[in-house]
Amino acid sequence: MKQRKRVLGCVASVCWLLQLVACGAGEDGGAPAAPNSRGWQTPSCSLIKGTGALTYTVDGGVSRIPREFPLPSNRYTFGLAVLQDANVLLALGNDGRGLRLQRSADAGCSWTPVSSALDPLFELAELVASGHIAYAWTRNARWIYQIEANGSVRRINLPFDPLTLRLDGRDSQHVRSARFRAGQVQLMDSRDGGTTWTEVGTSPPDPGLQPVAVISGANLEHALVLSANSGAWVTFDSGNQWIESSGFEDVHTPNGRSGAISSDSVIAWLLVQDRPPLGVPSRPTGVYVSHDGGLTFQRVMSEGPESPLGAGGTTFWPHAGDANLVYFAFGSIGPEAPSFFYRHDAREPAVTAVQWPTKEGSVTSVAFHPTNPNVLYLGLSITNPD
């Protein structure tokens, strides 16, 4: 029965890929509309003013624009988003002055606090944006914040703990999320900005599911759910049919930890750990890439002394303008240890890395300039041992 489901799934996925190439993504949750780039400028400042946690790079992280303030230890910025409004970005985190929402109106050269009235649980919250609206969300709270371009904030209560949050690029009120309950992952959909929700599809048939869901920003019907037994399951139709991913034969038991889907919804990346039988040495954690939306994967990076990876997973940031590119990071503990900022081009076989001292801050959020693909905005954090 499982083999038949996989064959049927492959047929469905081929149809989906052909439709994507021929017609573009579907109307419901389709490819995100490009931001209105009128007025967007390429930043050229030599100092980032108003913060110690935000900067940008034009060379993939080799150099970073200095910040006005130093970033204290154990301070975090996981929220960073570019809005459609010209030169406007929002950031959420704590750069040593308490949790605050900050806004830039000059393409990231200076930052001004616009709100500090957010719950402390949102210190590790992420930001996602569509058009003129951003949402702040965290797995630790049953509510989200809807944020206007001017920084005004509205709290929206949720009936579940969100595993993720993604927005329709054409409609900022269309929100897709997922919940984990009784060992099952259920995709959730809202058409009114998160006020009301409906279940879509079913859960993958796997008793080892992780509370991790990856939803495409280009096509909300396309998602991955990760498993401690089989790596991942993929759906192209909002969870009505799930297909078990393959390509993890180089580990004993593939334990999917985190992942991402590209900006054209064709390429996917996963971080997979090994779960060997008792007494058997584990094989190295790896980063895997898929060129068919998550059906089949192949390893492109293995963890090692010169290529550390997060033990509990890592965040991937697919490039908004180049669907072949993804960035991810590893932040060491201790001011003298290096931080790693990785880049993978799906057209290439290897991952490249940039290192810098952790005391400068490790990358914990990334956003992309809407008209200049070389400009990467970075949110930084520092973790030191107590």
Average pLDDT, rounded, for the chain = 89
Pairwise CA distance, residues 294 & 299, whole Å: 13
Q: Could you report the per-residue pLDDT of 89-99, keeping only the tens digit for each? A: 999 999 999 99
* Long-range CB contact pairs, 348-352, < 8 A, 24+: 349/300, 350/300, 350/301, 351/287, 351/300, 351/301, 351/307, 352/60
Bridge-partner residues for 166, per DSSP?
Answer: 176
Neighbours of 323 (CB within 10 A): 17
Sketch out the chain's domains with CATH numbers.
Answer: 2-381 (2.130.10.10)
Residues 6+ apart with CB under 8 A from 27: none
pLDDT value of residue 312? 77
Share of the chain above pLDDT 70, in %: 89
Is residue 155's pLDDT more than 70?
A: yes
Is residue 335's pLDDT more than 90?
A: no
**CB 214 within 8 Å of CB 176:** no
Name the token pair of 50.
């108003």
Strand 184-190 to 198-200 pairing: antiparallel
Better-predicted residue by pLDDT, 359 or 372: 372
Is residue 179's pLDDT more than 60?
A: yes
Is residue 34's pLDDT more than 80?
A: no
Which of the four pLDDT bands, split at 50, 70 and 90, describes residue 347? Answer: very high
